[in-house]
Amino acid sequence: MTTLVLALAFALAEKAPGAPTSARAPAASDAREFVARVNGDLKRLWTRQATADWVKATYITGDTERLSAWANEEVMAYLSGAIADSLRFENVEGLDPATARALRLLRLASSLPAPRDPARRAELAGIAAKLEGVYGKGKWCGKDGQGPCRDLEQLTETMRKSRSWDELLDAWEGWRTVSPPMRADYAKLVALSNEGAREIGFANLGELWRSGYDMTPGQFERETDRLWAQVKPLYDDLHCYVRGKLQERYGKERVPDGRPIPAHLLGNMWAQEWGNVFPLVAPAARASLDVEAALKAKGYDPLRMVKVGESFFTSLGLDPLPATFWERSQLVKPRDREVVCHASAWDVTYSDDLRIKMCIKVNEDDLRTIHHELGHDYYFHAYTRLPALFQQGANDGFHEAIGDAVALSVTPAYLARIGILDEAPLEDEQGVVRVQLRSALDKIAFLPFGKLIDQWRWDVFSGKVPPDRYNAAWWELRRRYQGVDAPVPRSEANFDPGAKYHIPANVPYTRYFLAFIYQFQFHRALCSAAGHRGPLHTCSIHGDKEAGRRLQAMLAMGASRPWPEAMYALTGQRQTDASAILDYYAPLRKWLKAQNRGKSCGW
């Protein structure tokens, strides 16, 4: 069976779809036929690929890694041929907009373009599968290697709960022993994928990634800089306040003024979100808002938490999840095998085969993550009848933003309304600040991290950062954007970027930066559609059918139109606007400035 699959792959690569049968110049009708054929082929191939990837992610073995590599190689082979063949339509006159857009999206269809040479293509597929497997199987067994061994899930719990400098440092350093063996393979992946990108007309893989936003790569990079400049003042205020509180806990000798925060102190393995240190930095309140305790007291389990997420979407008038979702999803970590616990959403067959893959814990973070992942699934569901090339978000940031925009409506008042909380906390100034601070520790703290991941990769793909500076460049960006630094000296013997899933898995990351901005713009527009009056942070669209109608109209467009048109359908705006973040956090901004008065801020 494997031989047949590989034979098909190479045959497809050698015979590009829709090749002309004569020497005549291609016409618009040829392009339409070509796109129709490619859409059919890709749906079949992507289904095989997603099926193999699902099995690999939910049952990690050497065999499943090989199956995934073979399926990915098959897709790589096909795309190499199809993209090369599509270039003959570049100057065809009279193309209808849908065909022209499909041809453009085809060139951008792979985040890991493969070289045309079969041996190098196979090498790239094998490296990609191996890197993700190394990450998924990673464990820290102590400095002497004698255990007890802890996987990422267990180490994450230490980072989440511990307040001991030494325990946190052990977990932080321990997880980063997983990534140095990836370094040589990652450098090969960069070289091979750059080769593939050049063969389809891009200078390098980073340029290809930046081309997926209906603007030039240079314009897109400037756009991310503009958006970061809009939100940076709020991040700077948050950083200053949190550093001051960490100084109270760990001392100024360990957390000095004017210096970056040690990365292991922020409650998260990558210091990308800081919500877990909320108990250390929160102002006093009459009553503590403890959603995790409430969930456990009310007997919530992972299945019931997912039902809560589904009920929010159905309250907007959207469809229930299909029965197969509940049969095929991975909601908890199996006891009998290795799996990738990193949360993700799937339509395995590109035909409404919706699933999520998580190792759900009963806590507030995972409740919100469930809403995020279901946002992906409802996007899949809305555009499932579109051709394969249009079965994606208006851009990849849209896909990431939908569930988070809905989760902004999971307010304390809403949690009380559906019975998770016994009552909503009082809406006095201190109560509002506590809720907003808890949210900002995740959403605002994330923004520079969301930007720098791909800034590092763009520099790596372009050659600006060579392999012998991978780690140095990583920490330069961490210090520059986040004001966060390694707690112990690092060198090029380390490969700290590889300790973050999206690097070995080759998942573009700017989508998350955009999503954390889009979600507030979406939320403001949906609240307006729902007729909300009052501060933006108090709005919940739960149960509002007009907001649901507006959301569904945008979701159903998929990638069939440029993203500014999808943005306009939902928000009435055609440009990304980070001002909604500042509107949402207006009470917190005022409070942080008062708390930071007289402090030495910056780094």
Structure tokens at 79: 């795309």
Q: Which one from 123, 195, 310, 373 is the annotated catalytic residue? A: 373
Instruction: Please count the other Cβ atoms lying within 10 Å of the Cβ belonging to residue 77.
Output: 25
Q: Which one from 239, 264, 342, 537 is the annotated catalytic residue? A: 342
The most distant pair of C-alpha atoms in the chain lies apart, rounded to whole Å, by 80
* Inter-CA distances, 437 with 61, 147, 284, 365, Å: 42, 38, 12, 15
Q: Which one from 376, 381, 532, 537 is the annotated catalytic residue? A: 376
* 587: alpha, beta or left? (left if phi > 0; alpha if psi -120 to 50): alpha
Return d(Cα 353, Cα 505) in angstroms, integer: 23
* Inter-CA distances, 543 with 374, 377, 548, Å: 17, 19, 8
Catalytic (active site) residue 537: no
Which of 463, 466, 490, 464 has its CA nearest to residue 478? 490
146 φ, ψ to 5°? -95, 0
CB neighbours of 518 closer than 8 A, spacing ≥ 6?
397, 398, 400, 401, 405, 576
Return d(Cα 35, Cα 107) in angstroms, integer: 12
Return d(Cα 396, Cα 508) in angstroms, integer: 9
Catalytic (active site) residue 294: no
Evaluate whether 114 touches 129 at the Cβ level (below 8 Å): no
Catalytic (active site) residue 542: no
Kind plus residue range of the DSSP H or E element containing 379: helix 364-382
Q: Which one from 239, 371, 372, 532 is the annotated catalytic residue? A: 372
- The residue with tokens 């949690």 is 415
Structure tokens at 252: 């100024």
Return d(Cα 577, Cα 106) in angstroms, integer: 29
Return d(Cα 361, Cα 344) in angstroms, integer: 15
163 φ, ψ to 5°? -120, 15
Q: Which one from 98, 282, 294, 343 is the annotated catalytic residue? A: 343
Alpha helices in 95-182 (DSSP H): 97-107, 118-136, 152-161, 165-175
Long-range pairs of 217-226 with CB within 8 A, sequence gap ≥ 24: 221/458, 223/576, 224/451, 224/510, 224/513, 224/514
Structure tokens at 498: 């590889």
Q: Which one from 400, 542, 578, 580 is the annotated catalytic residue? A: 400
The SS3 call for residue 139 is strand
* 261: alpha, beta or left? (left if phi > 0; alpha if psi -120 to 50): beta
436 φ, ψ to 5°? -70, -35
Catalytic (active site) residue 499: no
- The residue with tokens 């041996």 is 119
Catalytic (active site) residue 400: yes
Q: Which one from 59, 502, 556, 568 is the annotated catalytic residue? A: 502
Evaluate whether 226 touches 142 at the Cβ level (below 8 Å): no
Catalytic (active site) residue 373: yes
Q: Which one from 414, 512, 518, 584 is the annotated catalytic residue? A: 512
**Chain mean position to CA 105:** 20
DSSP 213-247: TSS-HHHHHHHHHHHHHHHHHHHHHHHHHHHHHHH
Give the Cα-Cα-Cα angle 45, 1, 78 (nearest 5 degrees).
Answer: 30
**Chain mean position to CA 154:** 22
Residues designated as active site: 342-343, 372-373, 376, 400, 502, 512
